[in-house]
Amino acid sequence: MSLLEMRNIVKEFPGVRALDGVSFTLDRGEFHALVGENGAGKSTLMKVLSGVYPEGTFEGDILVDDQPSHFKGIRDSEAAGIAIIFQELSLVKELTVGENIFLGKEPSKFGVINWSELYHKASNLLRDLRLPIDPRVKVGSLGIGQQQLVEIAKALSQDAKILVLDEPTAALTESEVETLFGILRDLLARGVGMIYISHKLDEVFEMSDRITVLRDGKTVSTHQAKEITKDGIIAAMVGREVGDIFPIPDHKLGEVALKITGLTAFSIDNPDKKLVDGVSFEVKQGEVLGIAGLMGAGRSELLMSIFGAWQGGFSRSIEIGGRPATISSPSDAISKGVGFVTEDRKRFGLILEQTILDNMTLAGLQKISGRFVTNRTRETMAAKGPMRSLRIKANSPLTVAGTLSGGNQQKVVLGKWLLTNPKVLFLDEPTRGIDVGAKQEIYAEINKLAKEGLAIVLVSSELPEVLGLSDRIIVLHEGRMTGEFTRSEATPEKVMSAATGH
Ligand SMILES: Nc1ncnc2c1ncn2[C@@H]1O[C@H](COP(=O)(O)OP(=O)(O)OP(=O)(O)O)[C@@H](O)[C@H]1O
Ligand SMILES: [Mg+2]
């Protein structure tokens, strides 16, 4: 008897067969990972399970404890003991952490919400989870990593017997991941079954009992985790062997493209607190400069301040192409040839309701269309270039961005900046949520852009990525620069030791 059985699920969207007869089972206390390339159908399968796509909008059967289930919406799946943590954060930014956790199930007395009990329960929950988050602050004021932890707390607040986690660790630090896994192990021991979606195969292997691979809406295979290797899983995902995923860089460095002196940035909440403290660096044409550091080291703040997008106070002097430059806003930065792929694609990168075409041409509109007229044909042609080179999985440039899989949305953001023909490109966590095959493509693209003379500044929490792509690496620790290494000098140990302040 399985805890959960999904039989022959078929789900179609206009023009896309996202699930083509997928079957899947889950046992009590089992950790079952679901992996596959971007667009394989993982999130869609979980939306079917959780009633986001109600009965009647898909084919196939769902059985919980051998009982056929007919979910008309999320409420029904919750009532059946299914909790889901969505890939795209679904918190309401204007509400507090506590309000979000208990949204729709606020403790109340005589129809009036009991606020003190709500916050009391919320702070107990956060404490149990060892999350140092104040339940009374607005979710919108938290960083993306903390928002993700609140999302997890929200799911755990329901007493679920099936817990679905869709890329829950994308924005978490290593220690936050360990905290999360500790909590999950407790729940597994209590018999909760878990479905875990991730592109981080190390995590998948650390936790899984079984691993199921999806490709193009079909189940490729299900494995006992003990009986398969990482390379085996990757080959099943991609449908071919994947060799070394990093290109061999042979960049010719040119003139200094961007020079930053004395960059200091202050906290938004606490205007006296320095998040970045007197950092200076330069990057040359054709160079990939990696910025390493732990979460909270000030890397994103650094890029945002240069770009004129940081909401707190900041100061710095800038030279572009050897000449002093002022950048007072993102549009200023764009007009001076600086592009920025941000880490939070929802907040800065992508308008989900618009088409791929509109998204891609937002920043690049002027360059592609001449100054005043917009030429749809020319735009459509231009957008097809990056769609092809980045292998964006969509029927046409007119597909709405919000209907793309998570990884493909990230590729649209990258494509959009490539169309602005920047001289300097900032990449903040460019491969978050991206599958191995597509990562390899994005790495090749980064390498090609550098070869063509673009100056690239890369921030990534994945150390292998920084080491594998950068010509030079600077390391930040608590806002200060604590190390600088050339490609040949850099080792994981040296970079980590600088990142932890040793
Ligand atoms: N609402 C929708 N409308 C139209 N097409 C959709 C919709 N949601 C998903 N799709 C399509 O269904 C396919 C599967 O998408 P899904 O989001 O399930 O992929 P995924 O495996 O979760 O990928 P990722 O690793 O990138 O998150 C994709 O081709 C996607 O574009
Ligand atoms: Mg997904």
Is the beta carbon of 437 within 6 A of some atom in ligand 1? Answer: no
In a domain, 243, yes or no: no
Q: Going by CA atoms, what residue is nearest to atom 6 of ligand 1?
A: 403
d(CA 101, CA 125): 10
For residues 206 and 327, membership in a common domain is answered with no
* 439 CB within 6 A, ligand 1: no
Q: What is the pLDDT of residue 500?
A: 84
Q: Domain boundary residue among 376, 403, 421?
A: 421
Q: Atom 18 (ligand 1): residue with closest C-alpha?
A: 41
Residue 342 lies in a domain: no
Q: Tell me whether residue 492 is in a domain.
A: yes
Shared domain check, 85 and 49:
yes
Q: Whose CA is nearest to atom 12 of ligand 1?
A: 18
CA atoms within 13 A of residue 116's CA, in its CB half-sphere: 0
- Residue nearest atom 7 of ligand 1, based on CA coordinates: 403
Which residue is closest in CA terms to ligand 1's atom 10?
Answer: 403
Are both 380 and 231 inside the same structural domain?
no
Count of residues in the chain: 502
| Cα 38 to ligand 2 centroid, rounded to whole Å | 7
E strands, 65-146, are 67-68, 82-85, 108-109, 112-113
**376 and 438 housed in the same domain:** no
pLDDT at position 212, please? 98
Ligand 1 contacts CB of residue 393 (under 6 A): yes
User: For residue 307, is it within any domain?
Assistant: yes
Residues 87 and 230 in one domain: yes
Q: How far, in Å, is the centroid of ligand 2 from the Cα of 31?
A: 18
Q: For residues 416 and 430, state if they share a domain.
A: no
Q: According to the model, what pLDDT value does residue 196 have?
A: 97
- At 400 the three-state DSSP class reads strand
Last residue of a domain, one of 203, 238, 273: 238
Give residue 84's domain range.
4-238
Q: 368, 397, 421: which is the final residue of a domain?
A: 421
CA dihedral 199, 202, 205, 211 (to 10 degrees): 10
Nearest-atom index, ligand 1, CA of 199 = 25
- For residues 415 and 433, state if they share a domain: no
What is the rounded distance in angstroms from the CA atom of residue 259 to the CA atom of residue 280? Answer: 8
Q: Name the residue of 9, 10, 13 whose CB sits within 8 Å of the most ligand 1 atoms, as the mutation to test its pocket.
A: 13
Q: How many domains does the chain have?
A: 3
Are 409 and 432 within one domain? no
Q: 43 CB under 6 A from ligand 1? A: yes
Measured from the CB, is residue 146 less than 6 Å from ligand 1?
Answer: no
Q: Given ligand 1 and candidates 6, 43, 356, which is best to mutate, with the most ligand atoms within 8 Å of its CB?
A: 43
Per-residue pLDDT tens digits of the chain, which is 502 residues long: 899 999 999 999 987 899 999 999 999 999 999 999 888 999 999 999 999 999 999 999 999 999 999 999 998 999 999 999 887 777 888 899 999 998 888 888 888 888 999 999 999 989 887 788 899 999 988 877 788 888 888 888 887 899 999 988 877 777 778 888 988 998 899 899 999 999 888 899 999 999 999 998 999 999 999 999 988 998 898 776 666 778 888 889 999 999 999 999 999 888 899 999 999 999 999 999 999 988 778 998 999 999 999 999 999 999 999 999 999 998 899 889 999 988 766 655 788 888 998 888 765 555 555 544 456 777 777 778 878 877 888 888 889 998 888 778 888 888 888 888 899 999 998 888 788 877 888 898 899 999 999 999 999 988 889 999 999 999 999 999 999 999 999 998 899 889 887 7
- Clarify whether residues 255 and 107 are in a common domain: no
Predicted pLDDT of residue 363? 57
Torsion, Cα of 482, 487, 489, 494 (10° steps): 40
DSSP β-bridge partners for residue 486: 472
What is the end-to-end Cα distance of the chain in Å, rounded?
Answer: 53
What's 283's domain CATH number?
3.40.50.300
Kindly state whether residues 411 and 474 are assigned to the same domain: no
Whether 344 is in a domain gets the answer no
Same domain, 475 and 428: yes
